[in-house]
Amino acid sequence: MESFDIAVIGAGMAGASIAACLAPDRHVILLEREDRPGYHSTGRSAALWVPKYGPPLVRTLTRASKPFFEAPGDGFGPVPLLTPRGGLVLAREDQRPALAALIGESGGALRPVGASGARAAVPLLRPDYAADAAFDPEVADIDVAALHQGFLRRLRAHGGALRTRAEVRGLYPAGGGWRIETEAGPVAADIVVNAGGAWADRVADLAGAVPLGLVPKRRTAIILDPPPGVDPAPWPVVDDVGEAFYLKPDAGRLLASPADATPSPPCDTAPDELDVAICVDRIERAFDLGVRHIGHRWAGLRSFLPDGLPVAGFDPAVPGFFWLAGQGGYGIQMAPALARAAAALLLGRPLPDDLAAAGVTAAALSPGRLAVPA
């Protein structure tokens, strides 16, 4: 049986990023159930970097990831991982107070541009829809495939292994570490990392750890054609201040989402026809975009812990079982910093200076914070 220092379960963005961070110091194997890494949430995201999105810890990790996105180093190609996009937040007449509050909270980072400014940026915006708008110049597109593949290349460059079609079906304490039964045969490792995305609580179950109450939530996306002769490439991503939809340029076409968040069991999720219809309705109310044809549609799971924050840390009761889960709707944009923090915690090292200085603590990331009192 092959033996490793660390076995990471799940080859999405979480698993790939922590495996790449650990590989220079430890012998690492990445175990993935599907026949290709990135098949689930990681391959289904909207690929946005929005530093003002999410709770404060998420925002901190997102900002702390920026230097990596700008200069990722070995294993990453010459293509930029971040491309400026900009974000427009719209408010209907009844949503003006919500937009004003958001602008106030942003401490000047969100610029009021008014309805006319919004229409200048996105000419398809219906004049009778938005009463007000603000612009966030920091929003960027992420090249998710380049980021994910770069982490996997770095893992391999340091002698790490990726095994696909290797669903983990059993985790058994053995010799101070783990015997891991997979679809592709058993392996042994001292430490197991649970980066199972929507399945993280199921993976915990296999190890005899208490699940943390992770709730996967389905989100739908559809691809639409712009009207003939309209090139949406320079448009910002357009968001509704009430988070009822967003629309962003995507390779000459438009990606739209009703920003749904429907609780779901972990699964290979697919869009619900009602969510697609709701999406088209909301988009048509806001934009002059008679939708005649939907190019492509998909859904993915965004998995949330009860407090909305990610976990990175050893299980309080099961030795050698390390959690990296609960990335919600931010698992791409904060991946580089979260993986650095997780790798340091796993190796028993202090958190990297920049993260500690920004206020990230082991306690805030610890799964122990979610423990149900006995």
Ligand X SMILES: Cc1cc2nc3c(=O)[nH]c(=O)nc-3n(C[C@H](O)[C@H](O)[C@H](O)COP(=O)(O)OP(=O)(O)OC[C@H]3O[C@@H](n4cnc5c(N)ncnc54)[C@H](O)[C@@H]3O)c2cc1C
Binding residues for ligand X, rule: CB under 6 A, are 9-15, 31-34, 39-42, 44-48, 167-168, 195-199, 203, 219, 221, 300-302, 327-333
Pick the closest to residue 369 from 303, 308, 302, 311 (CA basis): 311
Q: Which is nearer to ligand X, 241 or 301 (CB)?
A: 301
Least Å distance, CB 166 to ligand X, is: 6
Least Å distance, CB 221 to ligand X, is: 5
Q: Which is nearer to ligand X, 63 or 219 (CB)?
A: 219
Least Å distance, CB 357 to ligand X, is: 23
Long-range contacts of 340-345 (CB under 8 A, 24+ apart): 340/21, 340/68, 341/61, 341/312, 341/365, 342/18, 342/21, 342/193, 342/312, 342/313, 343/18, 343/21, 343/22, 345/312, 345/313, 345/314
Least Å distance, CB 100 to ligand X, is: 25
Long-range contacts of 241-250 (CB under 8 A, 24+ apart): 241/89, 241/90, 241/91, 241/95, 241/98, 241/99, 241/102, 242/95, 242/98, 244/282, 245/279, 245/282, 245/283, 245/286, 246/46, 247/283, 247/286, 247/287, 248/46, 248/48, 248/85, 249/85, 250/223
Least Å distance, CB 115 to ligand X, is: 26
Q: Which is nearer to ligand X, 221 or 365 (CB)?
A: 221
Least Å distance, CB 127 to ligand X, is: 29
Least Å distance, CB 131 to ligand X, is: 26
Q: Which is nearer to ligand X, 115 or 198 (CB)?
A: 198
Q: Are strands 161-163 and 28-31 parallel, antiparallel or unpaired?
A: parallel
Q: Which is nearer to ligand X, 33 or 92 (CB)?
A: 33
Residue with tokens 């495939």: 145
Least Å distance, CB 97 to ligand X, is: 27
Q: Which is nearer to ligand X, 92 or 217 (CB)?
A: 217
Q: Which is nearer to ligand X, 91 or 342 (CB)?
A: 342
What is the three-state SS of 254-311? EEEECCCCEECCCCCCCCCHHHHHHHHHHHHHHECCCCCCEEEEEEEEEEECCCCCCE
Distance, CA of 201 to CA of 355 (rounded, Å): 27
Q: Which is nearer to ligand X, 15 or 72 (CB)?
A: 15
